[in-house]
Structure 1
Amino acid sequence: MNQRVSPILPRNGVAPSFLQLPAGDWPDLLSFLVAHFAHIPPQVWLARLRDGEVFDQHGQPHRPDSPYPANRRIWYYREVPDEVPVPFAANVLYRDDCLLVADKPHFLACIPGGRHLRETLLGRLRSELDLPQLTPVHRLDRETAGVMLFCVNPAHRAAYQGLFQSRAVQKTYEAIAPWRDGLALPLTHRSRLQERDDCFLMHEVAGETNSETGIALIARHGALAHYRLSPLTGKKHQLRAHLAALGIPIVNDPWYPALLPDKDSADFSQPLQLLARSIAFTDPVTGAARCFESERQLDWVSRQDCGQP
């Protein structure tokens, strides 16, 4: 069997993790795992091996006394203790044999990573729809809600991802942010975005432009405004960084313009007011014109519709 192909199936929509073992003379596999994963208590790995939760390249479980298989790959299911459930549902807007379109809620990560394993959009869709080979075509930040595309058939994944690489997709977002007197709208904001040296955030620097966002006003209400955003490029955190640079940071943004301390992971009271409203493209598999729109509303817009201040 090809070592790159998982010999075990996803569990609850989450694909297994793997580790390529280096050359070495360890007395057994357990000794290596305890030393390599120093942040995990030894009894955790012992229990996993006893329960048959660590597998070889053929999908057979290792035992607590299994010898160290140098230069081989092992597979296991990663665990995140005390993962907080996200109490919001993701709606499926469209599905065929090639493509699935979901309407992601705020606070739900797209794919497993860090503190989020089971509580991800990909994991939920794979499990609930029995689509173990479902893969994302693009990404949205965990804090952002709205339209997201998934490929149902792995054979078509490159074709759909190519749409984004060639900028053949028209994306529209909406945001709630402060109103700024003197900011002439509509406008196109261009800058060079680069990741900061001290953290994962992006900031604008001198140099050749690599990001571009169209910004238009939908409505204003007092000190806040409802904006339409049209990104022509897809840099990391582009919309959040651009609006912050213009002095109108998106409401409830914990990262821009300043990185705030981590809040309680169970606090869902202040969602980032950013929504991936729509996405349009020509389907590279069927040739059909596609346009999908989120059914969600940002909090401030919902309040205005209800006549609330």
Structure 2
Amino acid sequence: METLANLESFVRSAEGGSFSAAARRLALTPAAVSRNVARLERNLGIRLFQRSTRRLTLTEDGERFLHAIGGTLEALQAAIADAASSHGAPAGVLKVGMAPTFGVTHILPLLPGFLARYPLVRPEWHFENRQVDLIAEGYDAAIGGGFELAPGIVARALAPAHIIAVASPAYMRGRVPPADPAGLAEFAGIAMRSTRTGRLRRWMMRDVDGTEMPAMLRDGVVVNDPAAMREAARLGLGVALTAVPDVLPLLESGELTRLVPRWYADAGPISIYYASRTLLPAKTRAFVDFVAEAFRRERLAERFAGSLG
């Protein structure tokens, strides 16, 4: 009987058009995927792909075999995942993507407790200011905001991503605090340049009554990293418009102070993203539930809410 590994390598190679694309999805090397496909061809006695240096193309036999498999592969994967989660503890490499500032501040501290509960899981966490492709890059989950929900990906909201105005007490000493976002134009600004678009980020703020007003900071210091923006504000270089989670520890310690506290901008929810399989691998389900539980326990949704002043 043919092995699931050989069938998975064939199907993912057909979907991605290359062994490299299949390898990323299956967390294997391209050479391992190629060997699995070659073994399948040898066992079946047919050639499934026409190979070139640039792309794989299904042969007629390959097209016929792919069609014959149909949804059987997904059913087999679900059955195996179900058996593993029912009879075994969560285990294996857990590949997760998240933004560096948010991840180091709020997610990394959860790791000791998670590993104490699930010691067979091996974390591989990537801290990057970009939206990862969960399927193509082989991620089990990602945490952040503003992800495009590709087919097969679901999002579980954890907390709001509210943008607020902050400055250091030293910078504000001797200055009159602004009454509304328009008044921010009187202060030196710390601007954020998007690594994705190359543009300076601008925000429309709203108050608790729903009134909207643009925040017009003067461009002074320009950075492209939330941690750098937070540090520049802490050093007294001006006013920054930044996400509450990125500056919450400094607000609570008094190293930063919030300006126009009735006003905030809404950047959408912070969510945990994962593949929408009927039966998630036990390691992924355990991680998703653990993070959601920690957010509830620490009241992070409430603490991240700039709308609460």
TM-score, length basis structure 1? 0.27
Give the number of the structure whose residues are more often helix, by fraction. 2
